Amino acid sequence: MMEPANIDNLCILYQSSNFIVVNKHWDIRIDSKMWYEKQTVQSQLKQRFPELADPDTYYGFRFCHQLDFSTSGALCVALNKSAAGKAYRCFKERLVTKAYLALVRGHVQSSRVTVDYAIGKNTTEGMTHMMCIEGTHGCENPKPCQTELIVLEYGTYDGDPVTKILLKPLTGRTHQLRVHCSSIGHPIVGDFTYSLKKDCAPYRMMLHAYFLRIPVEAEPTEVTACDPFLTSIDPKWVPERREQQLERLIQELKDQDVADQDLAEEHRRQKELLTKQDQGRAEKSVMESEEQRVQCEQWLAEWTLD
């Protein structure tokens, strides 16, 4: 998929009456209010599914989450208000699992890294379109952010050393993965913005939303968007040594999801049980208070008669 995006090359990964998941092309916006930007995911959807566009929304479709202009991969779209609300709750409660593939500059030494840098808005003149890590000059309102990084393969891209990695964002901040990779000295290949306009040779930024799971009740949605960083697709990427198998890591994520959901369900049940117990105690207390009131009134009546 090295050809540029066009209005017709929309790849559908999943479709139901509630959701569509597309494999977003690199270098295309999800939507835009600018009249001159005719080519967006929203316009692709309208072209392919005009009957599914919702006239009650500004763009015609409800995007459940965001992907950067330069990022490709799995993007979920809700087809009605109810589905959008259910997906939103999953994101709000951090029940969604996302995993990205990337090629980064240099060879990452540690096989697994948790990057833990707060990220804020860059207010420096000329950089206001960027984010930055806490402690950077001009960094405004930094918020805690964590990203898990796992090395998949070492190799070269166009002769330069690079590492193929799996990224799992534990939080959801704008440009989080790009900023975190840059902050540890391994910027994403082709990231023009966070290489300070130096990395402009590759045909795209090498960041791809590979796995997405949204555990919507009654319709858990799980998709994988094909790995675009293969030598068969881009011969400039030459893997030399494999560290981890991608399929095994994704299965680990799925197994962890199941375990987390079981734990969350157990916590929910315990909370409901405690709530019922509290209600029972409150009702008992009300009953006891009522009995005490009746006894007090009876005692006062007897005392008055005396």
CATH topology of domain 11-244: Pseudouridine synthase (3.30.2350)
> pLDDT, tens digit, for every residue of 70-111?
999 999 999 999 999 999 999 999 999 999 999 999 999 999
Mean pLDDT of the chain: 91
> pLDDT, tens digit, for every residue of 246-289?
999 999 999 987 787 777 777 777 887 887 777 777 666 666 67
Asked about 68 being catalytic, the answer comes back as: yes
Convert the chain into a string of H (helix), E (strand) and C (coil): CCCCCCCCCCEEEEECCCEEEEEECCCCECCCCCCCCCCEHHHHHHHHCHHHCCCCCCCCCEECCCCCCCCEEEEEEECCHHHHHHHHHHHHCCCCEEEEEEEEECCCCCCEEEECCCEEEECCCCCCCCEEECCCCCEEEEECCCEEEEEEEEEEECCEEEEEEEEEECCCCCCHHHHHHHHCCCCECCCCCCCCCCCCCCCCCCEEEEEEEECCCCCCEEEECCCCCCCCCCCCEEEEEECCCHHHHHHHHHHHHHHHHHHHHHHHHHHHHHHHHHHHHHHHHHHHHHHHHHHHHHHHHHHHHC
Residue % of the chain over a pLDDT of 90: 70
Indicate the pTM of the whole model.
0.85
> pLDDT category, 3, cuts 50, 70, 90?
confident
> pLDDT category, 136, cuts 50, 70, 90?
very high
Q: Which of 54, 68, 227, 234 is catalytic?
A: 68
Extents of the domains making up the chain: 11-244, 249-305
> pLDDT, tens digit, for every residue of 12-62?
999 999 999 999 999 999 988 776 778 999 999 999 999 999 888 888 899
Residue % of the chain over a pLDDT of 70: 93
- Mean pLDDT over 185-195 rounds to 96
